[in-house]
Amino acid sequence: MEFQIALLRGDGIGPEITDSAVKVLESVGAQYGHCFRFHPYLIGGCAIDETGIPLPDETVNGCLASDSVLLGAVGGPKWDDLPGEQRPEKALLGIRSALGLYTNLRPAKLFPALKGASPLRADLVEQGFDIMIVRELTGGIYFGDRGMRTGKFGEEAFDTEAYSVFEIERIGRAAFEAAMKRSRRLVSVDKANVLETSRLWRKTIHRLAAEYPKVICSDMFVDNAAMQLVRNPRQFDVIVTSNMFGDILSDEASQITGSIGMLASASLGDTTRGMYEPIHGSAPDIAGQDIANPIATILSVAMMLRYAFGLTKEADRVEQAVDTVLANGCRTADLIGSTDAKPLRCSEMTAEILAALQSL
Ligand code: IPM
Ligand code: MG
């Protein structure tokens, strides 16, 4: 089979980590007889530098014409002083919205070999954990009315959150479906004691729950969820939440797996296309030094193989290769902690994973 992949390398460490993931896909392709064709497009700061805008039409059209999209990361200090509408991050929100990617799956799983890298106490991680955060991605406060105005105390800024029943229902359904394929436990995270949007969220999720009697569904306030994640991560299977809460909780969840450099994501809509990206940012402080952890991006292409192309065997194999190298003690700098082992460079970690892929 031949698959067309739009390649949005982006800024900072984006090019290095996507190059690693491309190598992994090419290796999988060679082994299993698939052809992955990559079509590079500009996004974020590099697009601003070349074209003056963060998300050129050519990029959107290129993504729409492809079978799937691989994204590195966007942003950096160079573009931090631009007005909100022209910032690199705007391109990320723009492409998610343009491709209709309202479901963001962010799995936070502890690899057995990384128990020691988790900041949690040994007894909390001994049995591991495997959480799927289902984050709403094209609505809420990220996309609501915003601006500047004069208020009681003079100049003020405002951002608003709005969620329709339609938007809550479709993300809720995605979460219940995910829960059905896993341990059938779903926690819906909101702030219904304060926010109107959260009360509608809760009501809508409860209505959906009636359609999924096999799923044990409960509610949790977001402040409590943030606490419970570090108190006892094993209590969670699937978490469904809004755009902003999901952004925050997924960073927290990533850290307890050992490093934010480990967390992959799939952004899905009503087609199989999807966009696949690590949840971390462009890490401008370490860009171009070949020291980034490529695993989050490599695990993101495993998700691409699984969800966009239905290539389950191939996806499993990539995940096993990551598991193998970690079990063999391979660590990039972010995973090292206080031990004196010498960290692998990004290219070295990639080479290890490629070798594991060949030998599995
Ligand atoms: C993420 C990032 C983005 C987000 C930023 C860069 C706009 O933090 O993908 O989690 O908030 O969605
Ligand atoms: Mg984030």
Q: Which atom of ligand 1 is nearest to the CA of 251?
A: 10
Catalytic: 223? yes
Residue nearest to atom 11 of ligand 1 (CA): 247
Looking up tokens 């020691």, which residue turns up? Answer: 116
- The reported pLDDT for the residue numbered 339 is 60
Q: Which atom of ligand 1 is nearest to the CA of 247?
A: 10
Whether pLDDT at 337 is above 80: no
Residues 105-119 pLDDT 10s: 999 999 999 999 999
- The reported pLDDT for the residue numbered 66 is 98
pLDDT-based confidence at 338, cuts 50/70/90? low
Tell me how far the alpha carbon of residue 154 lies from the centroid of ligand 1, in angstroms. Answer: 30
Residue type, 179: A
| Domain annotation for the chain: domains and CATH numbers | 1-103+266-360 (3.40.718.10), 119-256 (3.40.718.10)
Contact residues of ligand 1, CB 6 A cut-off: 89, 92, 247, 279, 281
Nearest 5 degrees, angle CA 182-CA 184-CA 190?
110
Among candidates 105, 111, 137, which has minimal Cα distance to 256? 111
CB 86 within 8 A of CB 54: yes
Q: When comparing pLDDT for 336 and 52, which is higher?
A: 52
- The two tokens of residue 76 are 């950096």
pLDDT-based confidence at 340, cuts 50/70/90? low
pLDDT-based confidence at 77, cuts 50/70/90? very high
Residues 156-166 pLDDT 10s: 999 999 999 99
Residues 182-200 pLDDT 10s: 999 999 999 999 999 999 9
Q: Which atom of ligand 1 is nearest to the CA of 137?
A: 12
pLDDT, average across residues 90-95: 96
Q: Which of 163, 247, 276, 334 is catalytic?
A: 247
CA distances 71 to 147, 174, 293, Å, are: 29, 22, 15
Residues 242-296 pLDDT 10s: 999 999 999 999 999 999 999 999 999 999 999 999 999 999 999 999 999 999 9
Catalytic: 247? yes
Per DSSP, the three-state class of 103 is strand
- The reported pLDDT for the residue numbered 85 is 87
Catalytic: 334? no
Among candidates 283, 316, 286, which has minimal Cα distance to 301? 316
Provide DSSP, 12-50: TTHHHHHHHHHHHHHHHHHHHT-EEEEEE---THHHHHH
Mean pLDDT of the chain: 96
pLDDT, average across residues 305-332: 97
**Percent of the chain whose pLDDT exceeds 70:** 99
Residues 19-32 pLDDT 10s: 999 999 999 999 99
- The reported pLDDT for the residue numbered 263 is 96
Residue 274 burial by Cβ neighbours in a 10 Å radius (0-12, 13-18, 19+): buried
Q: Which atom of ligand 1 is nearest to the CA of 73?
A: 6
pLDDT, average across residues 53-67: 98
Query: What gap in Å lies between CA 264 and CA 257, rounded to an integer?
Result: 12
Query: What gap in Å lies between CA 92 and CA 178, rounded to an integer?
Result: 24
Torsion of CA 274, 277, 278, 283, to 10 degrees: -150
- The reported pLDDT for the residue numbered 206 is 98
CB 250 within 8 A of CB 218: no
Residues with CB under 5 A from ligand 2 (ion): 247
pLDDT, average across residues 48-54: 97
Q: Which of 251, 290, 316, 323 is catalytic?
A: 251
- The reported pLDDT for the residue numbered 360 is 79
Determine the angle formed by the axes of helices 165-180 and 196-209, rounding to 10 degrees.
50
Which pTM was predicted? Answer: 0.96
CB 189 within 8 A of CB 227: no
Tell me how far the alpha carbon of residue 300 lies from the centroid of ligand 2, in angstroms. Answer: 15
Catalytic: 81? no
Catalytic: 163? no
Nearest 5 degrees, angle CA 145-CA 149-CA 154?
145
